[in-house]
Amino acid sequence: MRKKQNVILEKIKVEDYAAEGKSLARVEGKVVFIEKVVPGDVVDVKLFKNKKDWAEGYPIRFHEYSSERVEPFCAHFGVCGGCQWQMLPYERQLEYKQKQVEENLKRIGKIELPPLSPIIGAEETKYYRNKLEYTFSNREYFPDDEFNKLKTNLPNGAAVPIESTVAGFHAKGVFDKVIDIKTCFLQAEPTNGLRLAVKEFAKQNGYSFYDIKNHRGFLRTVQLRICTTGEVMANIVFGYDDEGKRKQLMDFVLKKFPSITSLLYTINSKFNDSLNDLTPIAYHGKGYVIEKMEDFQFKIGPTSFFQTNTRQGEQLYRVAREFADLRGHETVYDLYCGTGSIGIFLSKKAKRIVGVEMIDAAVKDARENAALNNLSNVAEFYAGDVIDICNGEFFLQHGKPDVIVTDPPRAGMHGDLAKKIVDIAAPIVVYVSCNPATQARDLNLLTDKYQVTKIQPVDMFPHTHHIENVVQLKLK
């Protein structure tokens, strides 16, 4: 296969899954990674990357569909990038995720491994998210075929209208356009009803929808948090403040959706959607919700981090607690502790929890959650870089850890932290990861002193390629 621009490969049979939601085929000895296909599909592929030994592309025509495929249940599948694997039976999704974990640990980690435990799948594969955020926009995203139909039906020379009023998700790879979502299956009601009602009310009352490209407009986003406790929080974000319009909308939402226990609003005039440096204002209710995992309660505000799938988060934390092998006398260090949820979950079987987290606001939430569960004398949380905090003086004050739990972001642990863990030499390390590739890299850094003794994948996000994995390490 020659390396050149605009290469189209015809009638390529997809052979296997290749991680990160892609599948692969082999053409003249070159591995071709392909989006939006599954093993067994026969497709024409247009390449957008073409290197010496590998290439990447996307299907432009399907000649045969794999016998593994099932009918996606969402009308937005293939356009919205949220649930990439709806065309696969859930059992096959789990098989591919298990394989992804195993291959990453072997290929990247290059260390001796015990057998993987079978992946823990989700009982609920729809309506499993407790948090979603929708965007209101004046620019609608149309797939190429719909866009071409629009052009065909317009008079000669007429341009496709740009202005619109939509509510949904950002189109993948297109920052300034939004997919108009009719029904989303990721979160239970009132999520769809509220989004559509706010959209219709705003249209009828002449509210401007946010222009992401030019940074202007009134109605910007809405964030919903729906808890297993029955509490519901909605935070409506406006591009600027207009008290009359704002109050009119907030009162409408309260009347239309009495199940909302906390209704907030936020004024965001920035160029990005992050709320971390803004102050949401409670319009109705206490301004937060209470979620439960087992017997533990967690206070969640509009900017708090919490596991997005409560039921599977509970499963994940149970695995972490089991892997910690606690007997009741241990001091546990919870690194990257966030709002303290893992440490609090482990506190049932530990003597002491010491949490360390970079983000001050998360540490404040962790302390509040400890107090909420009457654990202030058991669990303590500190803000700062673990590299700086975990020194001799800190150990003298809090004790050296018997168990270290680390739950880093997708980028994995900093190399200096891996060295620090090796220096601390706690008897057990429990590594919780949302990215088995970076987890495998980090495990390799720990291999001089530690041996991997248990591995447990957990599926937190059905119909996506994302996967969580928990590893137990013990001193050699």
- SS3 state of residue 355: strand
Please compute the mean of the pLDDT values over residues 249-278 and round it to a whole number. 96
Closest CA to 125 of 435, 464, 456, 436: 464
Share of the chain above pLDDT 70, in %: 95
Q: Is residue 149 part of a domain?
A: yes
Of the candidates 250, 268, 293, which is a domain's last residue?
Answer: 293
pLDDT, position 119: 98
Segments forming the whole domain that contains residue 198: 131-293
The last residue of a domain, from among 45, 64, 83: 64
Any domain includes 272:
yes
pLDDT at position 402: 97
73 within domain boundaries: no
* 13, pLDDT greater than 70: yes
What is the predicted pLDDT for the residue at 240?
97
Which is nearest to 429 in space by CA: 407, 458, 398, 456?
Answer: 407
At 146 the pLDDT is: 54
Strands of the sheet containing 23-27, edge to edge, are: 8-13, 42-50, 54-64, 30-34, 23-27, 16-17
pLDDT of residue 164: 83
Amino acid letter, residue 361: A
Q: Percentage helix, strand, coil, to 5, in the chain?
A: 25, 30, 45
Confirm whether 440 is domain-assigned: yes
232 and 167 in a common domain: yes
Question: Can you tell me the mean pLDDT for 165-184?
Answer: 92
Q: What's the pTM?
A: 0.92
Assess whether pLDDT exceeds 80 at residue 148.
no
* pLDDT for the residue 451: 97
One domain for residues 277 and 324: no
390 is catalytic: no
Report the alpha-carbon distance of residue 119 to residue 99 in Å, rounded: 10
Residue 4 pLDDT grade (very low, low, confident, very high; cuts 50, 70, 90): low
Question: H or E stretch including 146?
Answer: helix 144-153
Are 276 and 246 contained in the same domain?
A: yes
Supply the CATH number for residue 13's domain.
2.40.50.140
Confidence grade of residue 393 (pLDDT, cut at 50, 70, 90): confident
Same-domain status, 22 and 105: no
Return the pLDDT at 145.
56
Is 351 part of a structural domain of the chain? yes
Is 162 found in the same domain as 109?
no
Q: Which of 74, 80, 184, 434 is catalytic?
A: 434
Model pLDDT, residue 392 = 82
> What pLDDT score does 154 carry?
53
Q: Is the pLDDT of residue 147 over 50?
A: no
| pLDDT, position 162 | 54
Work out the mean pLDDT of the chain and round it to a whole number. Answer: 92
Residue range 33-83, pLDDT digits in tens: 998 899 999 999 999 999 989 999 999 999 999 999 999 999 999 888 889
Kindly indicate the confidence band of residue 151, based on its pLDDT and cuts at 50, 70 and 90.
Answer: very low
The C-alpha R_g of the chain, in whole angstroms, comes to 25
Judge whether 115 lies within some domain. Answer: yes
Domain boundary among 264, 293, 322: 293
pLDDT in tens, 427-450: 999 999 999 999 999 999 999 999
The Cα 235–Cα 285 span in angstroms is 12
Residues 257 and 328 in one domain: no
If one counts the domains in the chain, the total is 3
223 and 356 fall within a common domain: no
Same domain, 143 and 163: yes
| Domain match, 328 and 456 both | yes
Q: Give the integer Cα–Cα distance in Å for 222 and 293.
A: 25
Could you read off the pLDDT of 198-220 as tens digits, one per residue?
999 999 999 999 999 999 999 99
Report if residue 358 sits inside a domain: yes
The total of other beta-carbon atoms located within 10 Å of residue 269's CB is: 12
Cβ-count burial of 163 within 10 angstroms (0-12 exposed, 13-18 middle, 19+ buried)?
A: exposed
CATH of the domain at 190: 2.40.50.1070
Position 386 scores a pLDDT of 85
Q: Mind listing the pLDDT tens digit for each residue in 363-386?
A: 999 999 999 999 999 999 999 988
The number of CA neighbours under 13 Å toward the Cβ of 154 is: 12
Eight-class DSSP state of 141: -
Q: What is residue 223's three-state secondary structure?
A: strand
pLDDT confidence tier of residue 161, bands split at 50, 70 and 90: low
137 shares a domain with 120: no
- Domain annotation covers residue 174: yes
Residues 116 and 260 in one domain: no
Give the model confidence (pLDDT) of 309-331 as tens digits: 999 999 999 999 999 999 999 99
Confidence of residue 153 (pLDDT cuts 50, 70, 90): low
The domain that holds 110 is classified in CATH as 3.40.50.150
Residue 251 shares a structural domain with residue 349: no
